[in-house]
A and B are shown apart, each in its own frame.
Chain A
Amino acid sequence: MNFVTGRRAPVAAVLLGAAALLASSSLGAAWAQGRYKEAPQLAEDVKAGRLPAVDKRLPENPLVVPVAERTGQYGGVWRRAFLGPADANNYVRVVFDSLFRHSPDGGKIEPKIAAGAEPSADFRTWTISLRKGARWSDGAPFGADDILFWYRDVLLNKDLTPSLPGWMRNKDGSPALVEKVDDATVRFVFAEPATLFLTALVAADGGDRTFAAFLPAHYLKRFHPSYTAKEEVDRAAQAAGFKTWTELFAARNAPPENPERPTMAAWAPTSRVSDPVLTLKRNPYYVGVDPEGNQLPYIDEVRFTYFADVQALNLAAIAGQFDMQARHIQMTNYPVFKDEEKKGRYRILTWSTFGGADAAITFNQTYRADPEMGKLMATRDFRIAMSHAINRDQIKESAFLGLGEARQGVPAPWHPYFPGDEHAKKFTSHDPALANRMLDALGLDKKDAQGIRLLPNGKPATIEIAIVPAFGAWPDVGQLVAKDWEKVGIKTIVQIRERALHFKMRDANELMAEIWNQDTTGFPFTGNTKFDIRIPAIQIGNFGPLHGQWYRSNGREGAEPTPEIKRIVELIDTAKTVGGDAQVKVAQDLFRIWADQVYEVGIVGLTPMIQGVVVLNSRMRNVPAQVGNDWPLRTPGNARPEQFFYQR
C-alpha cells in the first residue's frame, strides 16, 4: 500500500470530527481583487456582458484546492459512461456536491462549499461557517437561508420527510435544532454529544434520491406549498404527470433530473440522467480556485454516455472510449486492461477498497428454517472451524487475480480504527485438520457414506451459501469455499439468485449464509453499517434479522441477542458521543469482538474489486495514484476532480 505510516496521526484527528477544520480564508485573501483567472470560455462571456467578472462570481474566501501534480490547463471533455437513471450516484460521486468532503486518502474531512466547522467543547453544538459571496450556478446568492430552507421546509415537513434520518434525531426522537446565526453562519444543536456529525453532514449531498442539507431556496420555493399556493403546486404536479406535489418537488430538486435546478458543484447538468447522454458543463460560479488563483474546474465538460449493459460498457472502456472511469469497470477484466495499456492510450490505476473484506461469508445468527443448522451457525467454534477450512490463498489467486490479501472484515492497516494484525488475520490460516478436530468436538463426529457429517437428528450437515453476482467473481469464490467445506464434511450448496429476490429473502430471514463484501469498516458508526444489527436486514447484509427485530420492537418480537451482540450495539451508541482517543478505543474494541466472534468470515480484502480499476486517459493529469476508495468518500469525488486536467 502506498499509504505512509506517518499519515495515521492526522487521520485520527479528523475521523473523530475534531476541531481541526478551520476556514482556509487567509489563503484566499492573499490574492488582491482582480487577480483571479478564469477559463477562456468564461472570459469571452464576461467580455460579451453575459457573465459578471470572475472576482464578482467568487466568494470573499474561495476554496483553495491543492493540485495533485501541477497547475492545470483549461479545456477538454471528460468522457464517462453510466447505466441509466438508477445510476444517478455516478453523477453524485463525480461532483461530490457537499458542504464538506473527505480528503483524497479518506483520512480527513475538509471544507468544500462551507468554509469551516467548529464544535462546542461537549460536541452538542456545531457552528458551520459559509463562504460570504458564494453563489449558486445561476448566480443567485448562497447562504444560511438555503440550509434553513432544507431544515424547516424539507426535513421538518412530514410530507417530504415522514421520519427523521438518524443523524438529525435526538435520543428522545425530537429533531436536532438548526439556527441561523447570520447570513454566513448556521448552528446545529443536539441534545446529546454528536461527535460524528460532520461525517453525516458530508453524506447529506443528495445521493440516493435524498435531499441534500442545503437547497436552492430561491428556486425550489415555487414547488413548495409553504411559499406558493397549494392549487398552483398541485396543478404543476399534475401537468408533469405526478400524483402529488412531493413527487414533483423531489424530481425538480434532483440536479441530474432537472438541469434548471441550480447547483454548487464544479459542473452543472445541462441534460438529464434519463437522456442517452448526461452532460455537465462548467459552473461559472464554482467556489474553488487552484493555489495560483485559477478558478476551477479545469475541464470544460463531463459527458456520461448511456450503456444498457455493463459488458458493453467494459468493451467500450477497453477500446479507450472513456477518459477516467472506475465505476462499473470489472476487476475480472483487469488482465485485458493491463494488456491494452501497453498501446499507450490509457493507464490503469488500482484503488483498493477502504478496508474490510471484498468477499465475506455472513452466518445468519437467527436462522430458523433448519433449527439444528441454525444452532450450529450460532456456535462460535463452528464458525471458527469453517473459517480455518477455507484455502484463502487459492481463492485470492484464482478469483482475485492475486490482488489483495487474506483478511477478516476489519479496517485497513492505515486506518486509526485498525485493531491490529492479530485480529485482521485471526482464524484465516488454512488448517483443515484443526477444523476437523473442532467439528468433531462439537458432536459432529458421525459421517454418512459420502463423508458428510451428520447432525444430531441424523440429517447431513448442509449449508447453503446465497450469492448475487454483484461484484468480482463471487460465484467462483462460493464454489471454491464449497469445495473446501466439503473436505471437512460440511455439505455446501452454492445458490446464485437474482438480486431483488436475494434481498427479499434477507428481509424474511430466509438466507442461511451469504457472500457479500464488508465495506463498512471505514465508517462503522454512521450510515448503513453492517455492525449495527438494528438496521433492517434488507438494507445491508445483516447477521441476525431476528435480533434486529428484537431491538426495533423494544424486545416484543424477534430473538434476544447474545451478550456479545448487545455489547457491539452499546459500543456503536457510545462512539457517537465520545471524541478523540476514546472513540478510537471504542472502535478497536468493536473490531476485536467482530474478528473474535466471526459472525462474518472474511476471505480476501484490499483488492480493487469495487470501482477500483481506474481506466485513465494517458493525457489526463492530477489524478492521484492512490486514494481512499469507498462510497462514503464518494470516490472519485474525494480525489478533487475539479483539478483534473488534460495535458496538451
Chain B
Amino acid sequence: MIRFVLQRLLLLPLLMAVFSILVFVIVEAPPGDFLTSYIATLASSGSSIGAEHVEALRRQYGLDQPIWVQYLKWVGNLLQGDLGLSLEYQRPNAELIGEQLFLTVVLALFSFVLTWIIAVPAGIYSAIRQRSVVDYILTVVNYIGVATPNFMLALVLMWVAFAYFGISVTGLFSPEYQGAEWSLAKFLDLLAHAWLPSLVLGIAGTARLTRVMRANLLDELNKPYVVTARAKGLSEWTLVLRYPVRLAFNPLVSTIGWYLPQLFSGSLIVATVMNLPNIGPLLLRALVNQDMYLAGSILLIYCMLTIVGTLLSDILLAWLDPRIRMEG
C-alpha cells in the first residue's frame, strides 16, 4: 500500500512536466496572441488602439519572443513557485486565483453536500421500493435532471425569478456587500444567494448519483448473502444498510476523487451565466482573451488536482473495500 502511494507520488513530477507542455500548447493553439484579442475586444466595444502602441505593448509583455523561450520562462518561474503575471489584469496570477478560491470551494462544497444528501437516500429508497410510485416519480425527475444541461436550467430559473418575482438572482452577494469586508451579515447574504446556484450545479449530479446508487443496490439485493442474512432473521433495514448499501457505495467512492478538480473549477458555463464570482469565469475569460499565463496556471492546477484526486479515490476504495488490495 505505502509502496503504491509512493510510486504514484514519484510519477507526479513526470506527469506534470508532460502536462505543462500540453497545457502550453493548448493555450497557444488559438491564432494570434493576447494583443490580437485585446485589439478585437476594443474594436468590439467601439474603440481602437494605435499600431505603435500595440508594438510597445507586445515588447513590454514579451510576446515578441519565440514560443519556446516563452515556455521556458513560464516553466522556470513555475519551478520557483511563481505562477507569473496576468496580462489582462496586470496582477500576479496566484493572487487572482487565490481571491476566487474561497467562494469557489464554498459553492462546490455546498452543491456536493446537497447532492449526496438528496441522492443517497433517494437511491436507496427507489431500489428497495422498486417499481413503486415514488420510484417512478424519482426516475422521471432523474432523467429530466440528467438530460437538462444545467446552464439551461440556470437560464430558466433566472427568467422565472425575474418574470414572476421581479428579482434578479445573478451573483453571490447583494450590491451592498459586494466589495465589503467579511461580516456575519455578509455571510448570511452569501447563504441567501448560494442555495440556488448550488442547486443548479448539483442537480445533474444528484440525478446521476441516484441512478447509480439504485442500480448498484439492485445488483446487491439479489445476491445469496442477502438471502442468507434475511433467512437468519436480520431486520430488513439493518440488513440493507449494513451490507448491500456499503457495497453499493464502491463505484461512487471510486469517482469521489474526481470531485477535487471539480471543487476547484466551479462549473464554467453555469457560473458565467449566473455571474458567480468563482474560478470558472476567470478561466473562460483567460482563454478567450488569450491571457496565456493565467489560463495555463489554472489548467495546470486542474491537472494536478485530477492526479491527486485519482490517487485519493484509490486509497479510499482500498480502505472501504477490503477485497481490493494492492500487491506487496
Give A residues with C-beta under 8 Å from B. 79, 84-87, 89, 160-166, 207-210, 240-244, 246-247, 250-251, 254, 257, 271, 274-277, 279, 303, 305-309, 311-313, 315-316, 318-319, 321, 327-328, 468, 470-471, 498-505, 516, 519, 527-528, 535-536, 538-540, 610-611, 630-631
CB-CB under 8 A for A316 and B168, given A277-B178, A500-B31: yes
Given A315-B168, A503-B39, CB of A631 within 8 Å of CB of B51 = no
11 further A-B contacts with Cβ under 8 Å, apart from A89-B47, A243-B62, are A164-B52, A166-B52, A241-B82, A274-B91, A305-B178, A308-B285, A309-B272, A315-B162, A471-B44, A500-B37, A539-B49
Would you call A327 and B272 a contact (CB within 8 A)? no
Q: What is the bound-complex CA distance between A84 and B276, given in angstroms?
A: 14
What is the 8 Å Cβ interface bit string for chain B, positions 51-74, against chain A (1 contact, 0 not)?
Answer: 111111101111000000000000
Name the residue of chain B whose CB is nearest to the CB of A328: B45
- B224 at interface, CB cutoff 8 A: no
Which residue of B is nearest A252, CB measured? Answer: B90
Q: How far is the CA of A78 from the CA of B188 in the complex (A)?
A: 26
Contact status A307-B275, CB under 8 Å: yes
What count of chain B residues pass the 8 Å CB interface test?
Answer: 60
Residue of chain B at shortest CB distance from A210: B53
Q: What CA separation (Å) do A311 and B42 show in the bound complex? A: 18
Chain A residue at minimal CB-CB distance from B30:
A500
From A319, which residue of chain B is reached at the shortest CB distance? B168
Instruction: Give min CB distance, B296 to chain A, whole Å.
Output: 16
Residues from chain B with a CB closer than 8 A to the CB of A502 are 40
Distance in Å: Cβ of B212 to nearest Cβ of chain A: 32
Q: Which of B36, B90, B158 has the most CB of A within 10 A?
A: B90
Query: What's the minimum C-beta distance from B241 to chain A, rounded to whole angstroms?
Result: 44
- Judge whether B158 and A315 touch: CB under 8 Å: yes
- Which residues in chain B, 160-180, are within 8 Å of chain A measured between CB atoms? 162, 166-168, 170-171, 175, 178-179
CA distance A279 to B57 in the complex (A): 27
Assess whether A165 is in contact with B44, with CB atoms less than 8 Å apart.
Answer: no
Q: B46 — which chain A residues lie within 8 A by C-beta?
A: 471, 519, 610-611, 630-631
B277 in the interface, Cβ–Cβ < 8 Å? yes
Determine if B319 is an interface residue (Cβ-Cβ < 8 Å).
no
Beyond A468-B40, A503-B40, A611-B46, whether A539 also contacts B89 by CB under 8 A is no
Q: A87-B45, A208-B42, A312-B273 are in contact. Are A165 and B89 (CB under 8 A)?
A: no
Instruction: Report whether B48 and A162 are in contact in the complex, using a CB–CB cutoff of 8 Å.
Output: no
CA of A271 to CA of B91, assembled, Å: 14
Closest Cβ of chain B to A329, distance in Å, is 12
| B92 beta carbon closer than 8 Å to chain A | yes
Asked if A84 and B285 make an inter-chain contact with CB atoms under 8 angstroms apart, the answer reads yes
Q: What residues of chain A lie closer than 8 Å to B162, measured between beta carbons?
A: 315, 318-319
Name the CB-closest residue of A to B61: A247
The smallest beta-carbon distance between B144 and chain A, in angstroms, is 24
Known: A85-B90, A305-B178, A500-B37. A208 touches B168 (CB 8 A): no
Name the residue of chain B whose CB is nearest to the CB of A207.
Answer: B47
Which A residues touch B42, using CB under 8 A?
Answer: 89, 208
- Chain A nearest CB from B284 CB (Å) reads 7
B290 to chain A: closest residue by CB: A500
Partner of B272, one of A86, A305, A308, A503: A308
Asked if residues A86 and B39 are in contact (CB atoms below 8 Å), the reply is: no
| A241 touching B285, Cβ below 8 Å | no
Contact in complex: B277, A503 (CB < 8 Å): no
B301 CB to nearest A CB, Å: 18
Offer 27 A-B interface pairs, CB within 8 angstroms, sorted by A: A79-B175, A165-B52, A241-B82, A241-B92, A250-B60, A254-B90, A257-B90, A275-B179, A276-B178, A307-B170, A308-B272, A309-B275, A309-B281, A311-B273, A312-B275, A315-B168, A318-B162, A321-B168, A471-B44, A499-B44, A503-B32, A503-B43, A527-B48, A536-B51, A540-B48, A610-B46, A611-B45
CB distance from A357 to the nearest CB of B (A): 14
User: A90 — nearest CB in chain B belongs to which residue?
Assistant: B45
Expressed in whole angstroms, the minimum distance between the Cβ of A638 and any Cβ of chain B is 14
B142-164 vs A, CB cutoff 8 Å, 1 = contact: the mask equals 00000000000000001000100
Q: Contacts A210-B53, A539-B51 known; A162 to B170 CB distance under 8 Å?
A: no
Given contacts A500-B31, A539-B39, whether A312 and B170 have CB atoms under 8 Å apart is yes
Asked whether, in the complex, the Cβ of B47 is within 8 Å of the Cβ of A162, the reply is no
Give the residue among A166, A519, A538 with the most B Cβ atoms within 10 A. Answer: A538
| B residues neighboring A (CB under 8 Å) | 30-32, 36-57, 59-62, 82, 84-85, 88-92, 96, 158, 162, 166-168, 170-171, 175, 178-179, 271-277, 281, 284-285, 289-290
User: Which secondary structure dominates where chain A touches chain B?
Assistant: loop
Task: From the candidates B32, B48, B84, B92, name the one contacting A501 in the complex (CB within 8 A).
Answer: B32
Residues of B close to A470: CB separation below 8 A: 43-44
Q: Are B31 and A327 in contact, with the CB atoms below 8 A?
A: no
Chain A, residue nearest B85 (CB):
A241
How far, in whole Å, are A579 and B84 apart by their CA atoms in the complex? 50
In the A-B complex, the 10 residue pairs with the smallest Cβ-Cβ separation, listed nearest first, are A308-B281, A470-B44, A528-B48, A277-B179, A319-B168, A499-B40, A631-B47, A241-B92, A504-B31, A504-B32
Question: Are B40 and A312 within 8 A (Cβ)?
Answer: no
- Which A residues are CB-close (under 8 A) to B179? 271, 275-277, 279
Whole-angstrom distance between the alpha carbons of A471 and B46 in the complex?
A: 9
- The answer to whether A163 touches B48 (Cβ under 8 A) is no
Could you tell me if B47 and A306 are in contact, using CB atoms closer than 8 angstroms?
no
List residues of chain B with CB within 8 A of the CB of A504.
Answer: 31-32, 36
The answer to whether residues A162 and B36 also contact, given A241-B85, A279-B179, A501-B30 and a CB cut-off of 8 A, is no
The reply to whether B36 and A161 form a contact with Cβ atoms under 8 Å apart is: no
Shortest distance between the CB of B310 and any CB in chain A (Å)? 30
Contacts of A160 in B (CB 8 A): 56
Q: Are B167 and A319 touching (Cβ within 8 A)?
A: yes
Cβ–Cβ < 8 Å partners of A311 in chain B: 273
- B168 to A246, Cβ gap below 8 A? no
Nearest chain B residue, comparing its CB with the CB of A534: B51
Q: Is the pair A501, B50 in contact by a Cβ cutoff of 8 Å?
A: no
Taking CB atoms, residues of chain A closer than 8 Å to B285 are: 84, 308
Distance (whole angstroms) from the CB of B328 to the closest CB of chain A: 46
A31 → chain B closest CB, angstroms:
37
Look across to chain B and name the residue whose beta carbon is closest to the beta carbon of A631. B47
Known A309-B273, A319-B167, A528-B48; judge A85-B88 contact (CB<8 A): yes
Bound: A198/B116 CA distance, A: 66
Which B residues lie within 8 Å of A505 (CB)?
Answer: 31
